[in-house]
Amino acid sequence: MRYEYKQDEASFSFPRSTQIGWIAQEVKNVLPEIVFEQSLNKSSTDPTSREEDSYYAIAYSHACPLLAEGIKELHQKMNQEISTIKQQYEDKITSMQEEMKALKELVLKLVQSQSSPQKV
């Protein structure tokens, strides 16, 4: 996802360029372990401190093991699907080969019966 930081916060200088990443508030609902709240240089005991004086951020490095494990699981599922499809394909080919063999034998019998002299 592409996003830009709000620039109205004078006490912290966010990058002005477009960023690429996840929205921390959305990730927090799914994976709160990798989201943390960062203060904007105000004391947490400051009575004038508001929720707007902090922001959520993501510890992307903590997501790497989860992403790697997810990729492994998807790879295993894909290999299982490939094996299943391959087996179905091989079974279908075998079935079609048997059917073709039976049809060839039938055609051969028909040809032989047509070429032999018929008795009246």
Question: What confidence tier does 5 reach under pLDDT thresholds 50, 70, 90?
Answer: confident
DSSP state of 118: P
pLDDT at 27: 96
**pLDDT digit string (tens) for 14-72?**
788 898 999 999 999 999 999 999 887 655 555 555 556 778 899 999 999 999 999 99
What's the CA gap between 42 and 49, in Å, rounded? 7
What residues have CB less than 8 Å from 73, skipping those under 6 apart?
A: none
Biggest CA–CA distance in the chain, Å, is: 117
pLDDT at 109: 94
**Domain residue ranges of the chain, discontinuous segments joined by +:** 1-59, 67-115
What's the CA gap between 120 and 109, in Å, rounded? 20
Q: What is the pTM of this model?
A: 0.56
Output 117 or 47, whichever has higher pLDDT.
117
pLDDT at 108: 94
Going by C-alpha positions, the residue among 16, 2, 1, 7 that lies closest to residue 55 is 7
Which three-class secondary structure state does DSSP give residue 113? helix
